[in-house]
Structure 1
Amino acid sequence: MTSLGRLRAANRRTLTTALAEGPMSRADLARATGLSRTTVSSLVGDLLEAGLVCETSDRGRPHKGGGGRPSVLLTLSAPSGHVAGVDIGHGHLRVAVADRTGTVVHEDVAVLDVDTRGTRVFAVAAGMLAEATTAAGAESVGAVGMCVPAPLDRTSTRVSNRIMPGWQGLDPGSQLERHLRGTHGITAPVLADNDANLGALAELGHGAARDLPPATTDMVYVKLASGLGAGIVLGGRLHRGSTGNAGEIGHVQVGEDGPVCRCGNRGCLETLVAAPRLVDLLRPAYDADLDIAGVLALDAAGDAGVRRVLSDAGRVVGRALADLATSLNPALVVLGGSLGRASSIVEAVRGSIDRYAQPEVAAAVRVVPGELGDRAEVMGAVGLALARVAQAPPG
């Protein structure tokens, strides 16, 4: 292939990756990818002819909110076949098999202490995925998306810090590929990314942020669970940072003499507001068997003690988000993870942003709970797999 051919193929992949996040007009694609409108028009013609992209019956907004003719939206075509998503959390494994429209046809979840299992978790994930593929009636999967609760280096796709004991320097995608192929005979590329990044893409495409203009979306997705992390979307595209560590808000230092964090620093935000710590704070006053589900139920019922603890946590998180919002000026903050739908936390985050962010920034941002709940990350993983299978060059 000539250098011009390689460039054209790379640009096609750029377009299909952008479309995997949701329908876009040609103008949206030009703004989101940085390609010229002439280049986008030519490449879209190739993709339409090959059947990889189709025009939808829905219409976009008039350009710049004017009264002109709405633009035609483009979306990825839905060929036959299946893809899969794997969500590895600190305390669970979730797998989903979906058709090429992104509709999940089979899903399974297991409670699992991932941190103590180390790399053995990949064998468990491979087994669950093989069983889910069979249960879905799928002969195979074209690609697997996987989210992990740690940042990945942008160049090597390896775990880039010590947040996950025993995982530093590990390539999670290669690990799962090896177990799938060697033990279960499943040959499929595995693409891995940070869990908050994929949660952000899922809420952007299918959840709380789906109505934002695609190419001009600036949003922050915050996963509040066993850990704390953020997925940052700028201009409709995920921002990973120079090394892949963007969004590690849980490791912002809020007290230099605070508890030692698993990242090796002291006084990280995560040491104060992670779900296990909040549950531990509440157990002496409630029940030794209290868990997150119980905390959420008590919060919804208006329990004063639970609301106090969650509100305190929300204010601390909101203080850190206020600084981030002042720097990035997002339109939306989406709170996800197991604690993201707690009304006390949502209200407290909103209050801290109002108090500490620059006033015009605070007035412009909405703070909402995620709509996809605990499934956001696995849905983002499915989207990552769909983008991979859509990247094959036409014809």
Structure 2
Amino acid sequence: MSTTTGVHALVRRTHEERVLATLRAGGALSRADLARRVGLSRTTLSEITTRLLQRGALVVVDTDAGTRVGSGRPAERLALDPGAGQYLGVDFGHRRVHVAVADASHEIVASGVQPYDDEPWPARLDLAFALVDRLTREHGLHLGALQAVGIGVPGPHTGAPGGSRVAWNRHATPDGVEESFAERFGTPVVIDNNTRLAALAEAVSLPDGPSDLVYVRLSDGVGGGLVVAGRLVRGARGFSGELGHVTADPVGAPCRCGKRGCLETVASVPAVLAACRRRGAAVRDLDDLAAAVEKRDPVVDAVLREAGTALGRVLGAAAMLLDPVDVVVGGEIAHVAPVIVEQAAATLRYELSSVPTETSHVVSASRLGDRGGALGALAAVFHRSPVLAGYPEPSGAGRSSSSRVSSPTSRRSAP
């Protein structure tokens, strides 16, 4: 793209964002009213609204015939199309894909989950596209006005086009995922580590806004994300927040990364379940674990407290370095077995007992649950928040995101 073309595209995108923001705030308006409020000439405004109408971002809702004074042709009034999905967030986990669709006001208008059994990437893509098609059908949406797609993937990722490849990460994103979404939807794409995106979603959902936050997710693996001085941190090579491969026990079990005793070998869901079984507890999955927690099984409680202690030590090291305001523990196990969060909090307090402070760090289970990665992917493509300073722009030429960022809120959603 030439410099001149790029400048023109940026100007057009800026004008589109201003028009969308004005209609979002003011409701249905005529082109003349829009031109006055946005500060554009009628010619430029006409070009912008024609493009947005063609894409399906806007609809003609009525005319001003009922309120018009004087003669002349009634003017059409334009509004945001409530059936237009304008942003798509996709979170590929190890065993499921979660999709969320947001409209121009950044509200979630549809979301859903499709489980899979550790499928190869081509199958995951097919399932994700089928889920998007199902959600748009069920909710009467269309994606003709789609502005951008955000994608979260497991494992280290630089957040730049092509991402990073890690030898021990068998779930590393192959070439073509980014391109597949860009080609299917004709939009810019942001792709990054899904746990880092979940950290972003947690940060922007805080009542006082994003500040300093350490996020860790306990799932099939263990990952994390950091928000420092109100900004999402990626690191030079995309490894920022990889708390799962911090050593928790130097003589512990071998880890898939080649080391021993990583936090992932102690506090991931498979590690916790395996430890319970080794000690004689009949725990095959998270449902069994939840039942054992409900019955206060002493073996399961001991395993969870040991995992929570290991987690608390790793979080203590991170907190000593970063001094965050909030520490958030995500993943299903944090909700199924809250004792693991309680033990991590107690251990963190001990680890930081030498630090003089009037207030303790707030350690809590995730506010957003399993939706965090998809909501973080949406927040990344909204892309107009200080928390994303320095974050990569969506790859590819095309439409831009909206002019403000907020915590994605739910208006209606699928299961």
Q: TM-score, normalised by structure 1?
A: 0.71
1:359 aligns with 2:346: no
Q: How far does the alpha carbon of each residue in 1:3-61 deviate from its partner, in whole angstroms, 9 at most, with x for none?
A: 9x96xx69x99xx9xxxxxxxxxxxxxxxxxxxxxxxxxxxxxx97589xxxxxxxxxx
Give the direction of change, closer, same or farther, for the CA distance of 1:300–1:104 in structure 2 (3 Å limit): farther
| Kept in 2: contact 1:100–1:386 (CA 8 A) | no
| Kept in 1: contact 2:114–2:127 (CA 8 A) | no
1:126 corresponding residue in structure 2: 129
Cα displacement (A) at 1:246: 0.1
Q: Secondary structure at the match of 2:120?
A: helix
After superposition, where does 1:1-395 map in structure 2 within 5 Å?
A: 81-82=84-85, 83-114=87-118, 116-140=119-143, 141-165=146-170, 167=172, 170=175, 172-178=177-183, 181=184, 186-206=185-205, 210-214=206-210, 217-283=211-277, 285-287=280-282, 290-341=284-335, 342-357=337-352, 358-360=354-356, 363-387=359-383, 391=401
Give the direction of change, closer, same or farther, for the CA distance of 1:212–1:269 in structure 2 (3 Å limit): same
Whichever of the two has the greater Rg, that structure is 2
Letter in 2 for 1:196: T
Q: Secondary structure at the match of 2:123?
A: helix
Q: Which runs of 5+ in 2 are unaligned?
A: 18-36, 46-78, 384-393, 405-415
Q: CA separation in 2, counterparts of 1:79 and 1:384?
A: 22
Q: CA separation in 2, counterparts of 1:344 and 1:337?
A: 14
Residue identity (%): 31
1:66 corresponding residue in structure 2: none
| Kept in 2: contact 1:150–1:159 (CA 8 A) | no
Higher helix share: 1
Q: CA separation in 2, counterparts of 1:192 and 1:146?
A: 5
Letter in 2 for 1:337: G
Q: CA separation in 2, counterparts of 1:280 and 1:362?
A: 40
Q: CA separation in 1, counterparts of 2:236 and 2:187?
A: 28
1:21 corresponding residue in structure 2: none
Letter in 2 for 1:346: V
Q: How far does the alpha carbon of each residue in 1:136-195 deviate from its partner, in whole angstroms, 9 at most, with x for none?
A: 3222133221111112124444133134326366363224434xx2xxxx3333321111
Cα displacement (A) at 1:93: 1.4
Letter in 2 for 1:280: A
Q: Secondary structure at the match of 1:360?
A: coil
Q: Secondary structure at the match of 1:85?
A: strand
Give the direction of change, closer, same or farther, for the CA distance of 1:355–1:160 in structure 2 (3 Å limit): same
Q: Secondary structure at the match of 1:232?
A: strand
Q: Which runs of 5+ in 1 are unaligned?
A: 17-46, 52-76
Cα displacement (A) at 1:250: 0.3
Q: CA separation in 2, counterparts of 1:100 and 1:305?
A: 50
Cα displacement (A) at 1:91: 1.4
Give the direction of change, closer, same or farther, for the CA distance of 1:99–1:153 in structure 2 (3 Å limit): same
Cα displacement (A) at 1:362: 9.4
Letter in 2 for 1:347: E
Cα displacement (A) at 1:254: 2.9
Cα displacement (A) at 1:256: 4.2
| Kept in 2: contact 1:144–1:188 (CA 8 A) | yes
Cα displacement (A) at 1:109: 1.4
Q: CA separation in 2, counterparts of 1:218 and 1:313?
A: 24
Q: CA separation in 1, counterparts of 2:216 and 2:403?
A: 35
Cα displacement (A) at 1:372: 1.2
1:38 corresponding residue in structure 2: none
Letter in 1 for 2:136: T
Letter in 1 for 2:296: G
Letter in 2 for 1:277: A
Q: CA separation in 2, counterparts of 1:129 and 1:326?
A: 42
1:60 corresponding residue in structure 2: none
Q: Secondary structure at the match of 2:290?
A: helix
| Kept in 1: contact 2:181–2:189 (CA 8 A) | yes
| Kept in 2: contact 1:151–1:244 (CA 8 A) | yes
| Kept in 1: contact 2:214–2:326 (CA 8 A) | yes
| Kept in 2: contact 1:145–1:192 (CA 8 A) | yes
Q: CA separation in 2, counterparts of 1:148 and 1:281?
A: 27
Q: How far does the alpha carbon of each residue in 1:190-223 deviate from its partner, in whole angstroms, 9 at most, with x for none?
A: 32111111111211223xxx12344xx1011111
Q: How far does the alpha carbon of each residue in 1:278-316 deviate from its partner, in whole angstroms, 9 at most, with x for none?
A: 11222463436x321331343255332222111110100
